[in-house]
Amino acid sequence: MQTTTKLALNPGWAAFLCAAFTLAGCGSQKPATAAASPETAPAGPRLYILDCGTIAPMDPALFSLKKEEVKGDGSFVSPCYLIVHPKGTLVWDVGQVPDAKIRDDGTEAVEQDILKATRRLGTQLAALGHPIEGITHVAMSHYHTDHTANANAFAKATWIVQQAEYDLMFKDAEVGIRTPDTYRDLRDAKRITLNNADHDVFGDGTVVVMAAPGHTPGHQMLFVKLARTGPVLLEGDLYHFPEERTLDRVPTFDFDAAMTRATRVKVEQFLKDSGAQMWIQHDPPTYAGLKKAPEFYD
């Protein structure tokens, strides 16, 4: 069962979202200084950051960078995110090691020699009062293995995916950085299929899946408009290292480098127009400076 949205890519994300900003103005706001109680029903979206593991140091050359151009050892983090909205819940990216392979004692589980995790996504969601079976929506930034590990567990939720991504995920051919077994149950799941388009998840402009092709054909990002924190953009894999952004480098394995650059130009304009802060999801320093669940941003 699916719903297909056939919309052209919005020519200006800022224009698309500004109408929604009338809920609380179009400017960014100061970060919250304290977390509210998770038991309180939210008046607007809450954003939780979950621990879905780390990635062993990567060769910067894969990202068109030299070792001396990159700060740190080249390792990554791989967070997952829970958005709790008065009208439902959305999990954004679902980990890189399946929960079934992670032990209860905190022992590090390793996939493909470099993908590591010590905590189950399902356990973290349940601890927040939102078990997997109650999640209403799921979306992944893209199909790469480090973002899809627990996708099958969300087969009863509504899956939000770009058509180009869906087609590649289930293509009968050899496709790199893909683990189809982790998401096979989504093939016929209830879904909202987008044609290179954005999608307002709960209808009020506060949680928007945004098309951002290039890294993969149907790569997407997540915009969250938070009442106290202000607007936040979870950029998927638009960038991995901050140096990709400052030095204008594109990973060697992107689906279409020119498309990636075009998307980046649009994103930079969107950030200026909206006042949103962008979190580079894989960047350890960015992750280290953010509150983790059970704390949240609202």
Note the pLDDT tens digit of each residue in 199-217.
999 999 999 999 999 999 9
The model's confidence at residue 170, banded by pLDDT at 50, 70 and 90, is: very high
pLDDT score recorded for residue 40: 57
What are the tens digits of pLDDT across the range 106-123? Answer: 899 999 999 999 999 999
Average pLDDT, the chain: 90
pTM value is 0.87
Residue-level pLDDT at 106: 87
d(CA 141, CA 222): 8
Partners of 161 in beta bridges: 193
pLDDT at residue number 17: 45
Residue 164 pLDDT more than 50? yes
- The CATH class of 2-26+43-288 is alpha beta
**First CA to last CA distance, the chain:** 33
Q: Give the span between the Cα atoms of 264 and 252, in whole angstroms.
A: 16
Spatial contact of 249 and 240, defined as CB atoms under 8 Å apart: no
Residue 127 to residues 130, 208, 244, 259, Cα–Cα distance (Å)? 7, 25, 36, 40
Q: What is the pLDDT of residue 15?
A: 41
Residues of the chain above pLDDT 70, percent: 86
pLDDT tens, position by position, 74-107: 999 999 999 999 999 999 999 999 999 999 888 9
Assign 257 a pLDDT band (cuts: 50, 70, 90).
very high
- CA-based radius of gyration for the chain: 18
Are the beta carbons of 59 and 262 closer than 8 angstroms?
no
How far out from the chain centre does Cα 32 lie? 22
The answer to whether the CB of 225 falls within 8 A of the CB of 38 is no
Torsion angles phi and psi, residue 181, rounded to 5:
-60, -25
pLDDT of 71 reads 94
User: What confidence score (pLDDT) does residue 42 get?
Assistant: 73
Q: According to the model, what pLDDT value does residue 24 have?
A: 31
State mean pLDDT over 261-272. 98
| 57-76 pLDDT, tens digit each | 999 999 999 999 999 999 99
For residue 22, pLDDT beyond 70 = no
pLDDT range class, residue 43, cuts 50, 70, 90? confident
**pLDDT recorded at residue 41:** 57
